[in-house]
Amino acid sequence: MDAPWPNEAEIVVVGAGNAAICAALAAAETGVVPLVIEAAPEAERGGNSAYTAGAMRFAYADLDEYAEVIDELSETDRRDVDFGRYTEDRFFDDLFRVTENRCDPDLAEMLVRRSRATLAWMRRQGIRFQPSLGRQAFKVNGKFRFWGGVACEVVGGGPGLIDMLYAAAGRAGIRIAYETRMVGLETDDEGICGVRIEHGGRRRTIRTRAVILACGGFESNAEMRARYLGPDWDLAKVRGTRFNNGEGISSALAIGAMPAGHWSGCHAVGWDLNAPAFGDLAIGDQFQKHSYPFGIMVNARGERFLDEGADFRNYTYAKYGREILMQPGMFAWQVFDAKVSHLLRDEYRIREVTKARGDTLEELAAGMEGVNAEGFLRTVATFNEAVREDITFDPNVKDGRGTAGLAVPKSNWANTIAEPPFVAYAVTCGITFTFGGLKVNTEAMVENVAGVPIPGLFAAGELVGGLFAFNYPGGSGLTSGAVFGRQAGESAARHILAAREGRRSAQGLRMKISGIVDGMESGVIRGVSLRLGDVHVGEAACGGIFGVGRPPLRRQG
């Protein structure tokens, strides 16, 4: 098979998901068209981005700013939807709150301040956005209201995002080499000088002066998960691609890059107990089970172990996968009754689901495999007695309808489990991406262990360390990838353009000096021989006298 890549490229983008293609598009806009290398085959292209629902969080102060991003707002949307506002201050508050103030303030500033402008830029690239009414809003008194800070999603979800990004890349002339894995980076005294790749069992080096790493974290690598996240993480299911094995991070660390961020932390959710080991593009994100705020979650002992209503699911789902992994047998069951069944998301209605049903709680308990039935029935009875039924239930706000007197409280959206039929769904831990990564500055340049940028090395997406810790505000991942991807592409292009200009200046200087020196004859310039580097390009006749204390040049005659 012929190699799908050239021997050299001015910029090489490693990875081919949202962050990578945004980086490639931003570079191409400057006239520096990069080469993109993707470890996956074409049928599995797009990294984790292809497995997402396409939600993207951005700040907007009013409907006019919101409309800068959305493809089209119909009169019906304007009439029936309360779009509200999600200000930069709220975005900052959410980001710092859920990360327990551990996020890098400079990176947070980039993410929040550039969120709307970046999505508007994506729209100009041909990416279409729409209001996220299906998963991020409920209809109350005839009007949809967004409840969790995410009012926007890509048309077609993650697969739609990837298709539109690749269409934009095609229009920009960007070449993508599939089944091409990066195995290392090469440097010289000037910085990055090559990327080592493997394709078809053969290895070689692509010469380049700029590499953008956008190939994800190490969530697909069981050994690295166990090493950095801890015991049993090697057994977690992977929600997305099987190709995010940490090569980008490891290769950068090997040349002296600085690690950054929460290396023992990750984004992990409740994921169907019998889902495959890695994501399935045919199912996408539908193995997730995110309506737990409206029910209860119990472990193998039949006991509740977390506050299902601590906050909107956008601010808890990414940390509750870890809680499930810590339970006996690494599984849990989410339990609902008929009062809230209409609120369950579409993911609960797919065929590929692990489910139990019963007309009585006893019948339900018998179908919940692995759960102590007596413990479960006791838990439900105790929970029902503790529900504050004097407070009105409202799914659009943190309604304060909680429990009283329980060791594990439920803070909001508490309803008795009492109205048949009853349903339960089995979940385990599904890891999305890891939080530890590389230290980058606000130009998306990777820094070395001394805090100095490594010339020619840039990073974006999941392998940027320091932005998320402990938890994550839903919809921030794709936005972060786009923001830092765009910046990485622009920075890499500037690096290459500066190098081009430097070469032109050096070549011009060599031509000028070569001409004067080669034409010297007894202090008089009779003529010049013009050279560009080592290449003779012509001759010219002239005359002049030079000497110390005299005018530098004087033409004869």
480 located within any domain: yes
Query: What is the rounded average pLDDT of the residues 465-486?
Result: 96
Strands 211-213 and 202-207: unpaired
Are 332 and 466 found together in one domain?
Answer: no
Q: Confidence class of residue 125 from pLDDT cuts 50, 70 and 90?
A: very high
Indicate whether 412 pLDDT > 50. yes
Q: What is the pLDDT at residue 4?
A: 62
Cβ partners under 8 Å of residue 451, min gap 6: 258, 439
Are 223 and 127 found together in one domain?
Answer: yes
Q: Report yes or no: 112 and 96 within 8 Å, Cβ to Cβ.
A: no
Biggest CA-to-CA distance, the chain: 114
- Cα–Cα distance, 210 to 251 (Å, whole number): 14
User: What CATH number has the domain bearing residue 29?
Assistant: 3.50.50.60
Query: What is the rounded average pLDDT of the residues 485-495?
Result: 98
Query: What is the rounded average pLDDT of the residues 261-275?
Result: 98
Q: Confidence class of residue 509 from pLDDT cuts 50, 70 and 90?
A: low
Query: What is the rounded average pLDDT of the residues 414-443?
Result: 98
SS3 23: helix
Which residue, among 185, 106, 99, has the nearest Cα to 448 in the 3D structure?
A: 185
- Cα–Cα distance, 215 to 436 (Å, whole number): 14
Q: Which of 481, 500, 519 is the last residue of a domain?
A: 500
Indicate whether 235 pLDDT > 80. yes
Which residue, among 454, 482, 439, has the nearest Cα to 20 in the 3D structure?
A: 482
Number of independent structural domains in the chain: 2
100 located within any domain: yes
- Cα–Cα distance, 370 to 377 (Å, whole number): 14
Are 362 and 478 found together in one domain?
Answer: no
Q: Confidence class of residue 510 from pLDDT cuts 50, 70 and 90?
A: low
Q: What is the pLDDT at residue 442?
A: 97
Q: Encoding tokens for residue 17?
A: 């998901």
What per-residue string of b and e applies to 210-239 under the rule 16 or more CB within 10 Å gives b? bbbbbbbbbbbbbebbeebbeeebeebbbb
Per-residue CA distances from 61 to 28, 147, 190, 482 (Å): 31, 16, 45, 21
Are 486 and 419 found together in one domain?
Answer: no
Query: What is the rounded average pLDDT of the residues 74-83?
Result: 83
Spell out where 113-229 has E strands: 129-131, 137-140, 143-146, 152-154, 175-177, 181-188, 191-199, 202-207, 211-213
Which residue, among 311, 329, 333, 348, has the nearest Cα to 380 in the 3D structure?
A: 333
Indicate whether 185 pLDDT > 80. yes
552 located within any domain: no
Question: Worst-scoring range by mean pLDDT, 10-14, 181-185, 422-426, 511-515?
Answer: 511-515
Indicate whether 522 pLDDT > 90. no
Query: What is the rounded average pLDDT of the residues 51-76?
Result: 92
- Cα–Cα distance, 173 to 156 (Å, whole number): 24
Q: Confidence class of residue 71 from pLDDT cuts 50, 70 and 90?
A: confident
534 located within any domain: no
For the chain, what is the mean pLDDT? 90
Q: Using CB atoms within 10 Å of the CB of residue 406, give its burial: 0 to 12 exposed, 13 to 18 middle, 19+ buried.
A: middle
- The per-residue pLDDT for range 324-344, each reduced to its tens digit, is 999 999 999 999 999 999 999
Indicate whether 549 pLDDT > 60. no
Q: What is the pLDDT at residue 175?
A: 96
The model's pTM is 0.88
Q: Which of 409, 429, 449 is the last residue of a domain?
A: 429
Query: What is the rounded average pLDDT of the residues 470-493?
Result: 97
Q: What is the pLDDT at residue 550?
A: 36
Are 236 and 278 found together in one domain?
Answer: no
What per-residue string of b and e applies to 502-530 under the rule 16 or more CB within 10 Å gives b? eeeeeeeeebeebbeeebeeeeebeebeb
550 located within any domain: no
Are 189 and 330 found together in one domain?
Answer: no
SS3 171: helix
- Which residues share a beta bridge with 342? none
User: What CATH number has the domain bearing residue 304?
Assistant: 3.90.700.10
Q: What is the pLDDT at residue 543?
A: 44
Q: What is the pLDDT at residue 527?
A: 52
The whole domain housing 480 covers 8-266+434-500
> Percentage of the chain surpassing pLDDT 70?
90
Angle CA 285–164–317, to nearest 5: 25
Indicate whether 396 pLDDT > 90. no
Q: What is the pLDDT at residue 3?
A: 56
Are 329 and 214 found together in one domain?
Answer: no
Q: What is the pLDDT at residue 75?
A: 83
Centre a 10 Å sphere on the Cβ of residue 102 and count the other Cβ atoms it contains.
17
Indicate whether 399 pLDDT > 90. yes
Are 227 and 314 found together in one domain?
Answer: no
Which residue, among 498, 486, 500, 499, has the nearest Cα to 444 in the 3D structure?
A: 486
520 located within any domain: no
Indicate whether 30 pLDDT > 50. yes
Indicate whether 523 pLDDT > 60. no
50 located within any domain: yes
Are 232 and 173 found together in one domain?
Answer: yes
Indicate whether 392 pLDDT > 60. yes
- The per-residue pLDDT for range 380-390, each reduced to its tens digit, is 999 999 999 99
Q: Which of 454, 470, 500 is the last residue of a domain?
A: 500
Q: What is the pLDDT at residue 86?
A: 94
Strands 259-260 and 437-438: antiparallel
Are 418 and 446 found together in one domain?
Answer: no
Question: Worst-scoring range by mean pLDDT, 147-151, 170-174, 188-192, 510-514?
Answer: 510-514
Q: Confidence class of residue 145 from pLDDT cuts 50, 70 and 90?
A: confident
259 located within any domain: yes
Q: Is the peptide bond before 421 cis (omega within 30 degrees of 0)?
A: yes
Centre a 10 Å sphere on the Cβ of residue 90 and count the other Cβ atoms it contains.
13
Are 148 and 254 found together in one domain?
Answer: yes
- Cα–Cα distance, 321 to 429 (Å, whole number): 5
- Cα–Cα distance, 279 to 299 (Å, whole number): 24
Are 320 and 453 found together in one domain?
Answer: no
